[in-house]
Structure 1
């Protein structure tokens, strides 16, 4: 159980890092360039990792990496930044909180994971908790922003489930590199068509923001995230994404001096309760269910199902 708790804690670092995305986007990045932000967050980091790791996909993993890269990075990053630019952080987080429920439904269909009343209740509690935590009475709604947030949640939900189902035959860092490059290459023509080829004059703060999002919010976070998806129930891992609005709210209070109302404490308790309930149910189910036997991957120093 201790090792599972450690694994859960390490996986939780990913959504905690993502919780700083809205703050970094609004305070450090150039205005009105969401697709540029998505490209610079994914493609350079992926190319550097490919050069360092020197591993390319083989066989069906060319197209599988392209699909996963589109879902986990290309489409998701584009929609994430569109939502971040068009919506208050609270509204975007509230809409994105439906992701754990989407993953639970998809995982039940594709992976055979049982949804159950506990996970459904935890999903509803998570959405309510996020609403109490981050949604203000005067929050403005933008139709395009809401659709982008919903699309991003659906894209990442599908990416989580397919990552769990396909199980890349390499370590999480190599798989992350493949997907970052695939997602970044998808984003480049979209960015050029929507925003044009001209680049803004980057300030030191802009460069620092892009570097942080690429290294901490992407390479480190997704390496831990994909590792958690491999070793834990997909629906349980997805509930970890509820930590993002918690960190976003805490960052806003600490850095921007935003107030913290009593109702937000109730929201925080609901979110933490949803996390504990969903992951406890997932771990108990995983402990009762026999684990499938996998063939070891030859020619690899580190099997994705052994020493990671």
Structure 2
């Protein structure tokens, strides 16, 4: 039974990172028209509706007063700052580059999970972190121009905010339904998204929303920031935060494929080398987690 739950969690992770990979491409498609703060606001506003609908049966669950600070952390760090910084990074650099840089999230999540949740750092995870760091260094050295380097630094800042939020999510989903954690976090983020989004639209002199751009925003909100956030939180409920985060290399792989098809993006040798290095930890993580799950199941059957 335990192995079946973990297999389901792995499937949810693959779905999650396909959705997130497509978000980078969608965000890049309309980044020249819609200001980054406004796009982040619209994504979360649209996403809040399906999330609240899915969470409605759990609204009666009592939240301990001491846990509200963690819900606030998820909303501010995870769904406000991370989404804003990611969209800003996409506008400064390519969709595939931003997605690949964001794949070093395992570094931050593993560190914060070890400090806050006391999760064990195994030798395999250490190797994965080393691969992620080396891959990041390679792609950073291949950046061209100040704009692209600035975009990389912005996305790295998003890595930190999402790493902290993921640790809070792991802690909350041990007590509350994952969909409730996601929905409350998304609604809390709107407290900050709405004023920054409105200010950005005023400064830009308009929203830049054409009919085609509205369709992209709906996809980003309903799928990339709604459904994907739920599948991610549900995965955290079954697997350690550091293990879930090690699947991040799937995101740039999907982004790269979609970028080729939809954005006509091309890749430098440093990008491809970084992709290989960072992606290696997915295989290592999967093998290790399956091994541990089988060992745990064998022990329970005795």
Output one character per residue of 1:84-125: Cα deviation in whole Å (capped at 9) or x when no partner: 111233442343232101111111111222223321211232
**Where does 1:157-196 land on structure 2 (aligned, <5 Å)?**
157-167=163-173, 169-196=175-202
Structure whose residues are more often helix by fraction: 2
Aligned to 1:80: 86
Q: What is the count of residue pairs matched by the alignment?
A: 289
Q: Give TM-score, length-normalised by structure 1.
A: 0.80
Aligned to 1:238: 245
Q: Unaligned regions of 5+ residues in structure 1, if any?
A: 291-308
Indicate the RMSD between aligned Cα atoms, in angstroms.
3.1
Classify the secondary structure of the residue corresponding to 1:113. Answer: coil
Aligned counterparts of 1:210 and 1:255: Cα–Cα separation in 2: 16
Contact 1:71 1:159 in 2 (8 A): yes
Aligned to 2:300: none
Q: Give TM-score, length-normalised by structure 2.
A: 0.82
Classify the secondary structure of the residue corresponding to 1:244. Answer: helix
Classify the secondary structure of the residue corresponding to 1:200. Answer: coil
Q: Which one of 200, 205, 229 corresponds to residue 207 of structure 2?
A: 200
**Where does 1:141-156 land on structure 2 (aligned, <5 Å)?**
141-142=146-147, 144-156=150-162
Output one character per residue of 1:207-237: Cα deviation in whole Å (capped at 9) or x when no partner: 1110000111111111110011111011110
Contact 1:75 1:152 in 2 (8 A): yes
Contact 1:130 1:242 in 2 (8 A): no
Aligned counterparts of 1:9 and 1:269: Cα–Cα separation in 2: 22
Classify the secondary structure of the residue corresponding to 1:19. Answer: helix
Aligned to 1:305: none
Higher RCO structure, 1 or 2 (CA under 8 Å, sep 6+):
2
**Where does 1:292-303 land on structure 2 (aligned, <5 Å)?**
none
Output one character per residue of 1:136-177: Cα deviation in whole Å (capped at 9) or x when no partner: 946334354333212110011011111112336442222221
Contact 1:233 1:286 in 2 (8 A): no
Contact 2:113 2:167 in 1 (8 A): yes
Aligned counterparts of 1:117 and 1:2: Cα–Cα separation in 2: 25
